[in-house]
A and B are shown apart, each in its own frame.
Chain A
Amino acid sequence: MARTGRRQKPKQHLIEEWTGKIFTSLCIVFLVVTIFSIVYFVATKGLSTFLKDGISFAEIFGSKEWKPDGEPPLFGALPFIIGSFSTSLLAALISAPLGICAALFMIEIMPKIGRKYLQPVIELLAGIPSVVYGFVGLSVVVPFYRDVFPGQGLGIAAGATVLSIMILPTITSIATDALAALPSGLKEGSYALGATRWQTLYRTVLPTTLPALMTGVVLGMARAFGEALAVQMVIGNAPHIPGSLFESTSTLTSVITLSMGNTVMGTMQNNVLWTLALILMMMTFVFVFVVRWLEGRANR
């Protein structure tokens, strides 16, 4: 009896070990299959524009004319690529100083008030649905820009304003983590040399955490780049390169959301939208690569 009991124990242990292994491996396999099938799906769909419909690479990336139902149809995606980049860059430019300063306030200047009240409030921003941002943008930001600046108010400026608020939590929380992880010896050393708080922050804390702060900014930009609904509502969606920040233009995502439901799968118009999705996906890869590279620098 005792012998069998003893024999069962390692068996049980083995069973647990194996179930655990099998379960985690299955999850990983599932994850990998999902990711690769998505990449494969978007890539085959997106590439069929070039392979099946015979549209040239140069036309998609170089031409400014977007007339999907013209005669002949023209598919120049340059305005959208420019629109996407300018909106997300501008959003990051607005949001980065705000987010980083908020993080400095929460960690270095007034941790008590900051972490107790400010952080939950900023994190709250991440939970608001993007359609709400879009509607606020359409009801508040656009009329304001229309009254103050020449133009209709819809455009890159309105899109970037809405996006900058949306990506604030990303930038702030990553900056907060980076600042909190800073070894205290660095700051103490700086104070011991007689530096003021400002000098310590500016000359020691910020340069040391810069790669991590940049990671936050890039991740924020990636989010801004992929955001569809809120931008679509406030950017105006005319497929042209705008002459000013307050003139209607489009982003890659806004074109996809506007047209995807109205086009028929497998047609040239639909395939080109998948090509735009492919461009978005490639850009996400680039962002992930940049973030990895920055993290590598931060860990050095």
Chain B
Amino acid sequence: MKKSLMLVLTLVLTFTLAACGQNNTTNSNGSADAPGTTNEGSGNEASSELSGSILAVGSSALQPLVDQASKKFMDQNPKVSIQVQGGGSGTGLTQVSGGQADIGNSDVFAEEKLDAAQAGELVSHQVAVVAMAAVINPEITVDNLTKDQLVGIFTGEITNWSEVGGQDQKIQIVNRPSSSGTRSTFEKYALGTKTGDLKGSIQEESSGNVKKLVKETPGAIGYLALSYLDGSIKSVNYEGVEANVENVANGSYPIWAYQHMYTKGEPNEVVKAFLDYMASDDVQNNDVVELGYIPVSSMQVSRDVDGNITNK
């Protein structure tokens, strides 16, 4: 009897749990949509009593920032729960476009990955800027590379460092996979052209591994976000301009990209409050700088999806 009772209980428990899980997801989806529609009229009156759940998915480059900010936000609003997941820009855009996630984090404009109809439904919230620099093995005696030289290197026309003013050493490319947002940013703004995957080139998914390989491999060149730079690898100037925060902010250094947090349509109250918090001075001046991003507010130029630069 006891055994059968246990079995029945296990069964019941399994099914209730499974049902609960489903209920939860539908609930959270429902509540994520509902406040936006019902509270729109009431405005900010209810903002002191924010409650709900937010799911933010996507870019692993943006994840640390959203993660840190979401923890602070949840401390201030105990009834709000925010889940931050990585998975890549493509995943973030897919999920926010499909309605599975409330926020889709992306390194690239949605227009670059989704078709026009899908991208049109999404609203971009630019929360930070990430700048990238070409990095080389510290033993290479090159300090500056022009756009043409970089294009030559990454398309395989230049294969030896002596051709760009360095020592006689073979160039080893450490790339990101062709679908990566970091790579498309680098190709778009540093090279101005798409490049293929050369035979013998190395591709690593994580910036940590790129850094490790560039540091250790003789003759290696790669590219990294500024937050990864330290004394162990050498960053090269681009067209004579040093990769640093000031040069990015005043528009003289072009290799940078917005970090987007996409919502489908206008965000609901909870999501909007969180996005406002991401754009607030508290986050922009502390967390953003602390984690190696550049605040959007400090940018003196802005850029649209086609790469057109305008002064603010």
A contacts, CB < 8 Å to B: 12, 15-16, 19-20, 22-23, 26, 66-70, 138-139, 143, 146, 152, 154, 232-233, 236-240, 247-248, 250, 257-266, 269-270
A8 to chain B, nearest CB (A): 10
Closest B residue by C-beta to A15:
B4
Give Cα distance in the complex from A12 to B5, angstroms.
11
Do the beta carbons of A261 and B90 come within 8 Å of each other? yes
Do the beta carbons of A152 and B179 come within 8 Å of each other? no
Interface string of B177-208 (1 = CB under 8 A from A): 11111000000000000101111111111000
26 contacts between A and B (CB under 8 A): A19-B4, A67-B196, A68-B178, A68-B179, A69-B194, A143-B216, A152-B172, A152-B200, A152-B202, A152-B217, A233-B204, A236-B201, A237-B204, A238-B197, A258-B177, A258-B203, A261-B60, A261-B86, A261-B87, A261-B88, A261-B89, A262-B89, A262-B179, A264-B93, A264-B94, A264-B97
Contacts A68-B179, A69-B179, A261-B90 hold; do A248 and B8 have CB atoms under 8 A apart? no
- 3 closest pairs, A vs B, by CB? A261-B88, A262-B179, A237-B203
Do the beta carbons of B88 and A146 come within 8 Å of each other? no
Interface string of B150-181 (1 = CB under 8 A from A): 00000000000000000000001000011111
Contacts A69-B178, A236-B202 hold; do A20 and B7 have CB atoms under 8 A apart? yes
Give Cα distance in the complex from A146 to B177, angstroms.
22
* Highest count of chain A CB atoms <10 Å: which of B11, B86, B205: B205
Do the beta carbons of B90 and A154 come within 8 Å of each other? no
Contacts A261-B87, A264-B94 hold; do A23 and B217 have CB atoms under 8 A apart? no
For the complex with contacts A146-B217, A237-B202, 10 further pairs of A-B residues with Cβ separation under 8 Å are A19-B4, A66-B197, A258-B177, A258-B179, A258-B203, A259-B178, A260-B91, A262-B91, A265-B94, A270-B90
Contacts A23-B7, A23-B11, A258-B177 hold; do A70 and B204 have CB atoms under 8 A apart? no
Chain B contact residues (Cβ within 8 angstroms of A): what range?
35 or more
Contacts A68-B178, A258-B177, A264-B90 hold; do A16 and B4 have CB atoms under 8 A apart? yes
- B72 within 8 A of partner (CB): no
* Highest count of chain B CB atoms <10 Å: which of A139, A152, A250: A152
Do the beta carbons of B1 and A257 come within 8 Å of each other? no
Closest A residue by C-beta to B218:
A146
Given B198, B205, B212, B217, which contacts A257 in the complex, CB threshold below 8 Å?
B205
Give Cα distance in the complex from A152 to B1, angstroms.
66
Given A22, A248, A260, which contacts B200 in the complex, CB threshold below 8 Å?
A248
- B209 within 8 A of partner (CB): yes
Do the beta carbons of A262 and B177 come within 8 Å of each other? yes
- B113 within 8 A of partner (CB): yes
Give Cα distance in the complex from A70 to B93, angstroms.
21
B-side contacts of A261, CB under 8 Å? 60, 86-91
Contacts A143-B216, A238-B198, A240-B199 hold; do A138 and B4 have CB atoms under 8 A apart? no
B241 to chain A, nearest CB (A): 28
A-side contacts of B89, CB under 8 Å? 261-262
- B312 within 8 A of partner (CB): no
* Highest count of chain A CB atoms <10 Å: which of B3, B97, B194, B202: B202
Do the beta carbons of B90 and A262 come within 8 Å of each other? yes
A-side contacts of B91, CB under 8 Å? 260-262
Within 8 A of A (CB), among B1-19: 1, 3-4, 7-8, 10-11
A-side contacts of B213, CB under 8 Å? 138, 154
Do the beta carbons of A264 and B114 come within 8 Å of each other? yes
Do the beta carbons of A70 and B217 come within 8 Å of each other? no
Do the beta carbons of B177 and A237 come within 8 Å of each other? yes
Give Cα distance in the complex from A265 to B97, angstroms.
10
A-side contacts of B197, CB under 8 Å? 66-67, 238-240
B-side contacts of A12, CB under 8 Å? 1
Contacts A23-B7, A269-B179 hold; do A248 and B196 have CB atoms under 8 A apart? no
A52 to chain B, nearest CB (A): 15
A-side contacts of B203, CB under 8 Å? 236-238, 248, 250, 258
Given B1, B172, B180, B201, which contacts A262 in the complex, CB threshold below 8 Å?
B180
B63 to chain A, nearest CB (A): 11
Contacts A238-B197, A260-B88 hold; do A248 and B177 have CB atoms under 8 A apart? no
Closest A residue by C-beta to B2:
A16
Do the beta carbons of B199 and A259 come within 8 Å of each other? no
Within 8 A of A (CB), among B82-114: 86-91, 93-94, 97-98, 113-114
B274 to chain A, nearest CB (A): 23
